A and B are shown apart, each in its own frame.
Chain A
C-alpha cells in the first residue's frame, strides 16, 4: 500500500520536473527581447484598443512610439495631451501639445429638409447603400442614417443616429476624436475638427458637390456653393470647391459672420451664445432652431 503511494508521488514529481525543465528550455530558446519601455508606455495608455491613432491597438502604438521616439506623429487621441505628457515624461522626452479634436457630422438632411424619395429595403449598412445607389433622398452625398459610424465607435454612443432627423450626431462629451467613425462613413461626411475654445466651432454642415440648383431641389439646407460665406470671411478661412464651401479650422476665429450670411443655413456654429440675428443654434438639435429660420427662404423656391 505504502509502496503504491510512494511510487505514485515519485512518478508525478518526476513528470513535473521533466516538464518544468522542458518549459524552461523552451522559454529560454524562444525568448523575445522587448524594450521594457513599451510596457511602460502601454500602461499609461487608456487601453481602449480603438485604433484611433492609426495603429492596431494600444500595444502597437506603444511599440511604434518607443521605436520611432516621434511624439509628433504618434498621438493618442483618447488619452489626449494629459496621457501624452505622462508618456513623454516617462520616456524622458519633451511633450508635444496637440489641439484636441472632435468629430462633426457635415449633414443636416433630416426628412423635413431633405425629402425621402424612395424606400431602401436591404441590408442596413451605409456601405452597401452607397455602393448601390444615391440613397433614400434626392441627395447623393448626404447621411444615409444606417449607422456604419455608430458600429465603428468604440466609445459607447459617441456617435448615434438621431431618431428624429435620421442623421448621425456626435456626442461631444463622449467623442475623443479617434476618427473611427470618419473612416467608416462611406460618404466622408464625418470630419475630425479642432474642438475649439470652449468647444466652440464653426463648420459647413454639408458635403453636397452638386450644382446649386440640383442641391436645392434635393435638400433645403444643403450648401449651394454660392460663395457668400467666403466673401464675408475676414480671415480667408473659407474656400468653395466643387460647389461646396469648406471652413479651414486652423484659420477660423469663430466670428460667425458666415453663419449669418449663409442663405441656406448650412453653416453650423456649435456651443456659441445666441447672436442677435436668427441663426441655427446647434447641430445637435437642427430641428429645433432652424425651424423658424428656413420658412422665409423656402418661398422663392416654390
Chain B
C-alpha cells in the first residue's frame, strides 16, 4: 500500500453542515428582503447594504488579523450577515456614515471584544443599531425618504417612493395616543390593512415586506438552519398580549395584527432572535426566550418611551441566555434509577 491509512476515532463521516454554509443560508434567506428594499428605496438602500457588509467584513478582518493574530481571518461569512442585518435595520434615508459607524460598533465592540464568532453575548447587528439609535436619534428616526440622485428612476423604473415616507405606523400611533387621540381617530381607515403587511410597511429598509421576510424564513426552516420555536413563541406572545389589551380597550391599545406586522417585529423574530450565538440552545430555553421577547416588546410599545422595542427586547433577553442555557436542559432519555 502506497498511501498511509488515515486513522481517527468514530464517526468517520460528517454532515454537510458547516458554519460557512449556515451563514450563507442566512444571507440567501435575506435576499428577498434586500431585493424589496432596493426595489423601493433604490440604489441608496443598495449602497447602505454594501457599505455595512464591507465595513463589517473589513473591521472583522483587521481585528482578527492584527489584534487577535488569527491564522484565518474572515473564515466564514458571519460578519456579512451582521452587515446585512444592520443595513436592513437602518432607516431608508440614513447617510452612509451611519452604516459605517454602526458596522464598526457591531463588529468591533459587540463581537470581537468578546473573542469573535460564537463568543459574543449580544447580537452584534442589534448592538450596532441600538448604538446608532441612542447616539443619532434624529437620523435614525428620520423615516422621510427623499429621492436621491441614486434612484432607479434614472433607469426608467422604480416605484413612487413618497407613498411610503413619513413616520412609522407605530410612531404615529404612539404620538397620537400621547396626544390624547383614540386609535380610530389616528387611523380612520383601520389600523391594519393586509396590503400594508404585504408591501407597504414603512420603517427600516428591511421591514418593507412581511412576505419577503417570510419567504426567507421558510427557506431557513426548509434548510433546517433554524427552528420555528423562537419566532413562533415571539409572535404568539405578542398576539396574545396585544389581543387581550386591545380587546379590553380597542381605542387605546393597538391590535395583534398591527403589532405583528409593524416595527420590525418579523425581521427581529425571524433573523435576529434566532441568531445561534445569542439565543438559547435548548427548546425549553428557546420558548422562555421567545416569550420574554414578546412580553418586553409589548411592554415597551404600550408603556415605554420608544414606539418600537424589538431591538431592546432581544438585547435584554440576550442577557438571560447564559442562564437559560444553564438551567434549561433538554429532555433526557430515560429516568434515572438507582441500580446499585
Contact = CB atoms under 8 A, between A and B. Distances in A.
Determine whether A and B are in direct contact in the complex, meaning some CB atoms lie less than 8 angstroms apart. yes
Interface of A: 116-123, 128, 132-133, 136
Contacts of A128: 9
Interface string B2-18: 00111111000000000
The 3 closest A-B pairs by CB, nearest first: A122-B8, A121-B8, A118-B5
A120 B8 contact: yes
Contacts of A121: 6-8
Interface in B1-47: 4-9
B171 to A, nearest CB: 38
9 contacts: A116-B4, A118-B5, A118-B6, A121-B7, A122-B7, A123-B9, A128-B9, A132-B8, A132-B9
B9 A117 contact: no
Contacts of A116: 4
Most chain A CB within a 10 A radius of its CB, from B4, B5, B6, B8? B8
A119 B9 contact: no
Contacts of B8: 120-122, 132
A128 to B, nearest CB: 7
A132 B9 CA distance: 7
A117 B5 CA distance: 8
A132 to B, nearest CB: 5
A121 B9 CA distance: 8
A122 B9 CA distance: 6
A218 to B, nearest CB: 15
A120 B4 contact: no
A239 B239 CA distance: 81
Contacts of B7: 118-122, 132-133, 136
A125 to B, nearest CB: 10
Contacts of A118: 4-7
A94 to B, nearest CB: 49
A133 to B, nearest CB: 6
A197 to B, nearest CB: 43
Interface string B256-278: 00000000000000000000000
A50 to B, nearest CB: 26
B50 to A, nearest CB: 40
A118 B8 CA distance: 10
Nearest to A136: B7
B176 to A, nearest CB: 38
Contacts of A123: 9
B14 to A, nearest CB: 11
A128 B8 CA distance: 10
Given A117-B4, A118-B6, 7 more contacts: A117-B5, A118-B4, A119-B4, A119-B7, A120-B7, A132-B9, A136-B7
